[in-house]
């Protein structure tokens, strides 16, 4: 694009626009001439003292002046990008970095990150990686990163989040970068990576990867669930009203996913990893085709961190629940109902329940338990470090782990590795990682069955100890180093 003089139409009256305004106002030869939005209520109004145009009016301005370009403001830019391309627009910056990159010496929100370290492998965790104030972010990706490094793999790690720019922080002695597409573009444009390891792919992220990698770069993509499955697979996350109001949008999301994954599944330099056979099978149903190159490798369970601690029979009276309350998929409402059912049984007063986690559904899930204030039910509204979870494993005997769907169930597997007896639900991929020789599987949303299972373990201590002793070996055979990290290292190094 010609950078002599650029006139920018910012598409999207987004909260990110203020940051874009602050950057561009310091750039010579670049001017913001207006905003564009799909919301007709905004047309003709003013945003940051600049007029908001309809897409058609903006296109008329664009078509009459070759210095006019579009810059997309929202983090999830792909729908707008496709909309502009369908209108015949070619002069598009998908984020402010692409604009800044036209001015090689101008990078006002980067700072000195000292990133030119020569590493040839980049690991990307969509949704971010753990930090002190975000402990629950993709711990299973982080454990991979640590294991790779412990086995001699030098890499950069990037958490892809909706915060403009790029930041560097240290977590447990490991350097991690994070930011949006701006930061990812900056990182990739300054390092000649030969291998990309991506978890939770989206079309937005692949746009940047495909822009900056060479033809010989290998891309390894881990599929975990929500990013690839049709919305109907998780219908429990929507109310009937939400489905009715958003049905057209939800079906379009299905089509967009099918188009996107059908395309990248055929790339020769892309290899895919499914974390369970169940996920592979439903992806084939939803997308209609499997990747040209794929493997099935479970998420790694670190047996050194989640080490076996022999249980005593009295540990059957101590129940632990550690889960996010972000969505209904985690089914903590079912756990709460199971505990309330147990409250009417003789064993209850002799037991102790410790619940940890946070999220937008926290009070919806635990309202009744909070109000009843049982003296032996302790609810802790906070997230935990993985080391804290491992410590709690040692002081509890039963791990209550309800779920409406899991493509593996990492927290369940970690508890098994520590010797806890898991009570969970027989749904999705869960039966691939636990059976009735090492734990108890209940039917979908069967809170009474879960209460019965806990009561049974409380009274049958021999069964409890039998399950506890078998569980670590069972899960390590499936998810220990040899069948996870070693296979991934072999794949990356092949």
3-state SS, the chain, equals CCCCCEEEEEECCCCCHHHHHHHHCCCCCEEEEEEECCCCCCCCCEECCEEEECHHHHHHHHHCCCCEEEEECCCCCHHHHHHHHHCCCCCEECCHHHHHCCCCCCCCCCCCCCCCCCCCEEEEEECCCCECCECCCCHHHHHHHHHHHHCCCCCEEEEECCCCCEEEEEECCEEEEEECHHHHHHHHHCCCCCEEEEECCCHHHHHHHHHHCCCCCEEEEEECCCCCCCHHHHHHHCCHHHHHHHHHHHHHHHHHHHHHHHHHCCCCCEEEEECCHHHHHHHHHHHCCCCCCEEECCCCCCCCCCCCCCCCHHHHHEEEEECCCCCHHHCHHHHHHHHHHHCCCCCHHHCEEEEEECCCCHHHHHHHHHHHCCCCEEEEEECCCHHHHHHHHHCCCEEEECCCCCCCCHHHHHHHHCCCEEEEECCCCHHHCCCCCCCEEECCCCHHHHHHHHHHHHHCHHHHHHHHHHHHHHHHHHHCHHHCHHHHHHHHHC
pLDDT digits (tens, 9 = 90+) for 252-289: 999 999 999 999 999 999 999 999 999 999 999 999 99
Strand 174-179 and strand 156-160: pairing? Answer: parallel
Residue 491 in any domain: the answer is no
**152-193 confidence digits (pLDDT tens):** 999 999 999 988 888 999 999 999 999 999 889 888 988 889
What's the rounded mean pLDDT across residues 107-116?
Answer: 57
Asked whether residue 446 falls in the same domain as residue 328, the answer is yes
Same domain, 360 and 273: no
Comparison of pLDDT for 192 and 460, the residue scoring more:
460
The strands making up 218-223's β-sheet, listed across from edge to edge, are 166-171, 174-179, 156-160, 121-126, 195-199, 218-223, 270-274, 294-296
Q: What's the domain count of the chain? A: 3
Q: Which residues pair with 353 in a beta bridge?
A: 319, 377
Which of 100, 132, 152 is the last residue before a domain boundary? 100
Q: Give pLDDT tens digits for 200-252.
A: 999 999 999 998 887 789 999 999 999 999 999 999 999 999 999 999 999 99
- Other Cβ atoms within 10 Å of 330 Cβ, number: 23
For residues 229 and 246, what is the distance between their CA atoms, to the nearest angstrom? Answer: 17
The answer to whether residue 75 sits within a structural domain is yes
Average pLDDT over residues 297-307: 97
CATH code of residue 92: 3.40.50.720
pLDDT attached to residue 262: 98
Distance CA 264, CA 203 (A): 10
Report angle CA 37, 159, 212 to the nearest 5 degrees: 75
Asked if pLDDT for residue 115 goes beyond 70, the answer is: no
**Res 110 pLDDT > 60:** no
Same-domain status, 348 and 206: no
> Do residue 231 and residue 373 come from a single domain?
no
Same domain for 432 and 285: no
Q: Compute the distance between CA of residue 463 and CA of residue 474 in angstroms, rounded to an integer.
A: 16
The 10s digit of each residue's pLDDT in 15-62 is 888 888 888 887 778 999 999 999 999 999 999 999 999 999 999 999
Looking at the predicted structure, is the pLDDT value of residue 103 above 80?
no
CATH number (domain holding residue 324): 3.40.50.2000
Q: Is residue 107 part of a domain?
A: no
Considering the domain architecture, whether residues 126 and 196 belong to the same structural domain is answered as yes
Q: Is the pLDDT of residue 107 over 60?
A: no
- Asked if residue 1 belongs to a domain, the reply is no
CATH of the domain at 144: 3.40.50
> Is residue 109 over pLDDT 60?
no
Is there a single domain that holds both residue 229 and residue 290?
A: yes
Exposure on the CB side of residue 21, measured as CA atoms within 13 A? 14
Pick the range with the lowest mean pLDDT from 3-17, 273-287, 411-425. 3-17
- For residue 303, tell me if it sits in a domain: no
In a domain, residue 291? The reply is yes
pLDDT at 14 over 70: yes
- Same domain? 258 vs 145: yes
| Interval 120-162: pLDDT, tens | 999 999 999 999 988 888 999 999 999 999 999 999 999 999 8
If asked whether residues 286 and 392 sit together in one domain, one would say: no
pTM score, two decimals?
Answer: 0.90
Angle of helix 461-479 relative to helix 410-417, nearest 10 degrees?
120
**What are the pLDDT digits (tens) for 372-409?**
999 999 999 999 999 999 999 999 999 999 999 999 99
**Final residue belonging to a domain, choices 296, 326, 345:** 296
Confidence (pLDDT) at 106: 46
Domain that holds residue 198: 121-296
Identify the pLDDT of residue 100.
78
Residues 235, 190 within the same domain:
yes
The per-residue pLDDT for 193 is 92
- What's the confidence (pLDDT) of residue 101? 73
Is residue 108 one of the residues assigned to a domain? no
Q: How many Å apart are CA 287 and CA 491, to the nearest integer?
A: 24
Q: Are residues 209 and 128 in the same domain?
A: yes
Whether residue 476 is found in the same domain as residue 337: yes
pLDDT for 146: 96
Any domain includes 86 = yes
Q: Which of 100, 131, 154 is the last residue of a domain?
A: 100
Residue scoring higher pLDDT (212 or 304): 304
Q: Which residues contact 179 (CB under 8 A, 6 or more apart)?
A: 158, 159, 160, 161, 163, 164, 165, 166, 167
């Amino acid at each position: 694009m010609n950078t002599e003089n650029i006139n920018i139409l910012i598409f999207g009256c987004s909260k990110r626009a203020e940051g874009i305004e602050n950057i561009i106002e310091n750039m010579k030869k670049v001017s913001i001439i207006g905003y564009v939005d799909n919301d007709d209520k905004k047309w003709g109004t003013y945003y940051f003292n600049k007029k908001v145009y309809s897409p058609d009016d903006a296109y008329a301005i664009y078509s009459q002046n070759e210095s006019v370009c579009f810059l997309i403001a929202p983090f999830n830019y792909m729908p707008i990008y496709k909309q502009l391309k369908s209108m015949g627009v070619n002069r598009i910056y998908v984020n402010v970095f692409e604009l800044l990159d036209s001015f090689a010496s101008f990078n006002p929100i980067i700072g000195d990150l000292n990133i030119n370290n020569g590493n040839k492998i980049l690991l990307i965790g969509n949704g971010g990686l753990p930090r002190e104030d975000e402990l629950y972010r993709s711990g299973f990706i982080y454990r991979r990163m640590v294991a790779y490094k412990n086995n001699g793999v030098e890499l950069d790690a990037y958490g892809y989040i909706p915060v403009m720019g790029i930041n560097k922080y240290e977590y447990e002695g490991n350097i991690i970068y994070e930011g949006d597409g701006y930061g990812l573009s900056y990182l990739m444009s300054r390092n000649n990576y030969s291998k990309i390891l991506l978890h939770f792919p989206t079309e937005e992220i692949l746009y940047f990867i495909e822009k900056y990698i060479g033809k010989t770069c290998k891309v390894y993509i881990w599929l975990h669930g929500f990013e690839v499955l049709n919305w109907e697979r998780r219908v429990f996350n929507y109310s009937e009203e939400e489905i009715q109001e958003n049905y057209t949008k939800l079906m379009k999301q299905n089509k967009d996913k099918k188009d996107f994954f059908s395309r990248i599944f055929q790339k020769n330099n892309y290899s895919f990893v499914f974390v369970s056979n169940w996920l592979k099978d439903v992806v084939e149903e939803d997308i209609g085709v499997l990747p040209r190159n794929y493997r099935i490798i479970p998420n790694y369970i670190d047996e050194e961190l989640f080490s076996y601690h022999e249980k005593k029979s009295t540990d059957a009276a101590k129940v632990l629940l550690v889960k996010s309350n972000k969505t209904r998929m985690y089914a903590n409402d079912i756990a709460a109902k199971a505990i309330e059912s147990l409250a009417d049984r003789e064993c209850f007063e002799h037991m102790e329940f410790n619940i940890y986690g946070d999220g937008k559904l926290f009070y919806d899930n635990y309202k009744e338990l909070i109000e009843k204030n049982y003296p032996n039910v302790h609810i802790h509204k906070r997230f935990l470090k993985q080391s804290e979870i491992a410590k709690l494993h040692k002081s509890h005997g039963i791990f209550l782990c309800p779920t409406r769907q899991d493509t593996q169930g990492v927290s369940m597997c970690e508890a098994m590795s520590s010797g806890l007896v898991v009570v969970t639900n027989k749904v999705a991929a869960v039966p691939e990682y636990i059976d009735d020789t090492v734990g108890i599987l209940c039917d979908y949303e069967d809170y009474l069955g879960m209460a019965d299972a806990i009561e049974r373990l409380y009274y049958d201590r021999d069964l409890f100890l039998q399950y506890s002793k078998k569980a670590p070996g069972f899960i390590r055979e499936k998810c220990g180093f040899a069948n996870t990290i070693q296979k991934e290292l072999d794949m990356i190094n092949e």
